[in-house]
Amino acid sequence: EIQLLQSGGGFVQPGKSLRLSCVTSGFDFHASAMNWVRQAPGQGLEWVAGISVTGAKTLYADSVKGRFIISRDNSEDTLYLQMNSLGAEDTALYYCVKDGYNLGDFLDHWGQGVLVTVSS
């Protein structure tokens, strides 16, 4: 069974940083592209970032580029999202998502989501 266990969410002040983690199991993590997708309260889905199987290629939404960093540790089957200079607009439920094939093809398994709240 594929599992994506997320952690690291919480309450943070504007301008601060937070790192999300996603520990995976049940599939070949080193052979899977991965993504982060977020959902603001009561809103739709917004893709945040994606990373290739080796980590050599990373993609970012314009709204987070330069502030967020996606990375992976294939030896630990873990995906990360380092979020810096957080603002209220970053308040959302963040999902760790496995790619079905190549980066961005389709998103076939989703984590349970972790809530990030940015507020003073």
Partner 1 sequence: SSEVTQDPVVSVALGQTVTITCHGDILTFSYASWYLQKPGQAPVLVLYGYNNRPSGIPDRFSGSYSGNTASLTITGAQAEDEAVYYCQSRDFRATHLVFGGGTKLTVL
| Count, residues near partner 1 per rule CB under 8 A | 22
Lookup: tokens for 58: 């990373």
Of all residues in the chain, what percent are helix, strand and coil, respectively (each to 5)?
A: 5, 50, 45
Q: Which is nearer to partner 1, 58 or 71 (CB)?
A: 58
- Minimum Å gap between C-beta 110 and partner 1 is 4
CA–CA gap between residue 46 and residue 119 (Å, rounded): 20
Is residue 20 at the binding interface for partner 1, with CB under 8 A as the rule? no
Is the alpha carbon torsion for 47, 48, 53, 56 positive or negative? positive
Using CB under 8 A as the criterion, what x/- string covers residues 61-100 for binding partner 1? Answer: xx--------------------------------x----x
Nearer to partner 1, 76 or 105 (CB): 105
Residues 6+ apart with CB under 8 A from 56: none
Residues of this chain that bind partner 1 (CB under 8 A) = 35, 37, 44-47, 50, 59, 61-62, 95, 100, 104-113
